[in-house]
Structure 1
Amino acid sequence: MAGPLWRTFADPRIGRHLLREEGEVIVDEVHHHWVVYIRPALEMVLALALVVLGVFSRVDIAWLPWLVAIGISLHAGWRALTEHMDRFVITNMRVFRVRGVLSQRLATMPLGRILDISVEKPFRGRLLGYGHFVFESAAQEQGLRDIRYVGRPDERDLVIQRVVARAGLRGRATHTFDGR
């Protein structure tokens, strides 16, 4: 019984945000790159070290490292779950982001309002295969401005550009090579 409850709790349920009756389909669902889980994993290693320390410490204070280990483990689990629940979704009609564990926030931008997408790839990101999206739109403040730690950012940028082009929201470029 705990398995289905956990799957339900740890799933952002993207499908319920789709406009299925309008023909909206998911083109790409973007999870965070694995690099965001390094810090929670290191915290769990620290918690395990504190449990081992508690085993080999004096009996009268053995509870202290265990108590700290429980706190660190809970923090690491919460951070990992927060990263897992943060999803960026590209559909044939819009892009949206769902995030949050206990309460969820949804930020949506129709494809027609996307003016510019910048892909930032720091040195570490180039080595490990992640980058960050910065969206510019007609509205200055929105919940979709920064999407961080996107795996394969160049491929994902091309997906968005293809979807925008297929939707007919940008004029087609005409190239002439004869000087006209």
Structure 2
Amino acid sequence: MRLSRPTDLDIGRHLLREEGEVIVDVVHHHWAAYTLSLLESALAVLMLGATSVVPVQLSTVPFVLALGLFAHAAWGAARERKDRFVITNMRVFRVHGVLSQTLATMPLHRILDITVVKPLHGRILGFGHFVFESAAQEQGLRDIRYVGRPDQRDLAIQRVVQRSGLRGPRRVN
């Protein structure tokens, strides 16, 4: 049995191993998803430095604000860290949540369209966002944000769908 850190998610327990399901790719958030938490932490450090500049009677105000910012930054980083998008040979699913956990699953045959959105800063930094369209109106897998190497991951999903035979036979010209 493998020991895992508290911040790791046990993706394997969500697999249908008896049915032959195997992981093709586990997508973690791109580092750019953590920039807000990093900026909040830097601001909290500056506020801690401000406690030495303000009068002693007021020094608790920036100290408490800094602690609040640190807590918010830690929560944001934990939320991003606990968000995983998994591609298997049978389905795609997303597991996310810090204290409670949500699992959203979509079988490969339900995926009608995948849109890869790469904003300018995403193209520069190497990330994009996936938008899944399926027969259902709304599902928990519609938007997957901050996907590193989005073109390669899109091709991986397309390959799995093609190999599963869900889109008809391959044409050879």
TM category (shorter chain) comes to over 0.9
Number of aligned residue pairs: 171
The CA RMSD over aligned residues, in Å, is 1.4
Which residues in structure 2 correspond to 1:1-180 (within 5 Å)? 7-8=5-6, 10-176=7-173
> Which amino acid in structure 1 is aligned with residue 25 of structure 2?
D
TM-score normalized with structure 2 length: 0.94
CA separation in 1, counterparts of 2:117 and 2:54? 48
- AA paired with 1:72? L
SS in 1 for 2:162: helix
Q: Which amino acid in 2 is paired with 1:27?
A: V
Deviates more, 1:112-121 or 1:152-161: 112-121
* TM-score, length-scaled by structure 1: 0.90
Q: Structure 1, residues 83-109: CA drift from partner, whole Å, max 9, x if none?
A: 111110001110000111111111000
**Structure number with bigger Rg:** 1
**CA distance in 2: counterparts of 1:39 and 1:129, whole angstroms:** 17
Q: Deviations over 1:133-172 (max 9, x none)?
A: 1111111211111111111000000000111111111113
The structure carrying a bigger helix percent of its residues is: 1
Shift of residue 55, structure 1, vs aligned partner: 2.4
Residue identity matched to 1:157: D
Which residue identity does 1:21 align to in structure 2? E
| Cα distance in 2 for residues equivalent to 1:60 and 1:94 | 59
Q: Which runs of 5+ in 2 are unaligned?
A: none
Code of the residue aligned with 1:103 in structure 2: it is S
| SS in structure 2 at match of 1:108 | strand
